[in-house]
Structure 1
């Protein structure tokens, strides 16, 4: 099955390349780059983003920074822009919970349809230019590298890995890759895909593995929502394919993790195969951790959680369900004695 899916993705890429026209561009690896822009949002200017230019002192010093607050960098995927997923889900959630600095990266001119091959290639350029901005803020303007948390969706998840590779100020504190793109990123070269070496802590979410997203464990901790391949409640519509719906759930789940009072609780499993055949409890404990914004930074391995089929998606702790099942089982055993 895996080989069939990979072959289908390969055919899709080939079709993309034959239909691409002169609008498909892969600019030189030079930063700053007019195709990569950065937009700062805070509660002060939530509806009027401030453009930040890496090599422009005035644009940086006049920006409405929230002093000493975390800096969340959001990176869209293929065909996206600063007002496209994951920005539309995650940015409002942060605005609701916290007065943070939110930087939305916009590289739409070099990520447009039908130019997937070029868009995938351009993720390295976007990563390099974003790293340049981070280094400028740290080295010239007194920001602390520990303030930065990079969150990328799809191609943006792979872009986050390149940011980690190109930053010269030290190692990024955290990268969150949301269903990082699979096509053209199936490689053994860790410098060409997001991996645990790109930051001090890399957490990865899988929602559409083997189609648009990767199945491969890529971080210090990898979360597989509902097994990581399909999501409950997703179906094909006029606006979106079923695969697209599964893929798009990644930023939705992450955004909900920022504000939910219930929480996405995940349990550890030795491997994806062990999870799929239902043997996790034979190998791992039933201890739970939170997925998302508040994931513990000391966890490692593969974790799995289930969701509802419609919002709110978080289901809370699995221990309550297990305790209910245990009590029911004990009652049944007492009844048959």
Structure 2
């Protein structure tokens, strides 16, 4: 309501978006870049000869969270990059996800203008810019990609893209397959905070069927199952940057009469992710790897499973077929925006 009465208030919030640069020269202490300030850019360690990777957090997130640090550290361990963290925490901490969703387009426009500034001042090509978005950040990436056309970013990685509000939206208002040269999504919590759609990106990976990540604990006061599941996509992606062959996956096929998820009601009668000998061996041949650097274009819907403990999570070239984990909170009426927001706040504070 306040933003509607006073437009300058909303503008001031958008201006509080920060772009924090990390490079091999400053892997731990960020340099803050400002769209339109060429002097600050030239005085920084930004190197137009290196690829640009922009990480975008989600609802209740911030650039300094452990999960974002994992992405940044993985890129810098994998090679020489300009890693930029888009921090929109001045907006994302709003307890109302509905209110947040109405501002994603403005944040995406800010991101668009920032990347245009980088391109014009430094000459860095758009195709060498990848956007890595978690949850709502995935849709920010997609909305920025739409506005950049006819140019396109090199890739968008959508890490458990949000589905709370975006589920019924058309392609013009959410992430879509052609928002970058290549788009890939990693789904880990489709039951609540994530998005079960296979139509958001060119390649969609459903890790452990997108339900009940095996390393996530039972719900406790400090860490809730669904929050752990939702953030698992970031840690899987970070591992794929360090080990590009960590997550072998098998392609799913459209079918009739069988569901993607064992003993669940999600995406019934759409996909079969098994293989001929899966019932006997519990394994299927891998067809592609998830994630990695640089992006390797794939197309389709894919399944893979992970270990219950990290180091590593991935099984490498082996695809082990497992039963879908429980989604105890699926279709729970008590999970209001306010309740979920409070739980996420607690999770972030404990992380």
TM-score category (smaller protein): 0.7 to 0.9
1:302 counterpart residue number: 301
Question: How far 1:288 sits from its partner (Å)?
Answer: 1.7
1:314 counterpart residue number: 314
Tell whether 2:87 aligns with 1:106: yes
Structure 2 CA distance for aligned equivalents of residues 299 and 215 of structure 1: 19
Tell whether 2:262 aligns with 1:268: no
Q: Which moved more, 1:224-233 or 1:163-172?
A: 163-172
> SS where residue 181 of structure 2 aligns?
strand
1:226 counterpart residue number: 208
Aligned partner of 1:281 among 275, 286, 294: 275
> SS where residue 172 of structure 1 aligns?
coil
Question: How far 1:120 sits from its partner (Å)?
Answer: 1.9
Q: 1:253 to 1:131 in 2, by over 3 A?
A: same
> SS where residue 105 of structure 1 aligns?
strand
Tell whether 2:80 aligns with 1:81: no
Question: How far 1:98 sits from its partner (Å)?
Answer: 1.2
Question: How far 1:26 sits from its partner (Å)?
Answer: 8.9
Structure 2 CA distance for aligned equivalents of residues 250 and 77 of structure 1: 12
Q: Which structure has the larger Rg over C-alpha atoms?
A: 1
8 Å CA contact 1:69, 1:99 repeated in 2? yes
Structure 2 CA distance for aligned equivalents of residues 261 and 69 of structure 1: 19
8 Å CA contact 1:171, 1:198 repeated in 2? yes
Q: Which moved more, 1:30-39 or 1:171-180?
A: 30-39
How many residues are paired up?
Answer: 299
2:16 counterpart residue number: 35
Q: How does 1:8-157 map to 2 (within 5 A)?
A: 33-84=14-65, 86-157=67-138
> SS where residue 55 of structure 1 aligns?
coil
TM-score (norm 1): 0.81
Structure 2 CA distance for aligned equivalents of residues 32 and 168 of structure 1: 26
8 Å CA contact 2:273, 2:303 repeated in 1? no
Structure 1 CA distance for aligned equivalents of residues 294 and 252 of structure 2: 17
Gaps of 5+ in 1: 1-19, 323-337
TM-score (norm 2): 0.78
Structure 2 CA distance for aligned equivalents of residues 53 and 207 of structure 1: 33
Question: How far 1:169 sits from its partner (Å)?
Answer: 6.7
> SS where residue 146 of structure 2 aligns?
helix
1:334 counterpart residue number: none
> SS where residue 224 of structure 1 aligns?
strand
CA RMSD in angstroms, aligned pairs only = 2.8
1:241 counterpart residue number: 224
8 Å CA contact 1:29, 1:125 repeated in 2? no
Q: Deviations over 1:1-44 (max 9, x none)?
A: xxxxxxxxxxxxxxxxxxx999xx99778699322111111121
Question: How far 1:271 sits from its partner (Å)?
Answer: 4.3
Q: Deviation above 6 Å: which 4+ runs of structure 1?
A: 25-29
Q: Deviations over 1:270-309 (max 9, x none)?
A: 1495443566326xx9452110124763421001101001
Q: 1:42 to 1:294 in 2, by over 3 A?
A: closer
8 Å CA contact 1:76, 1:86 repeated in 2? no
| Bigger fraction of residues in helix | 1
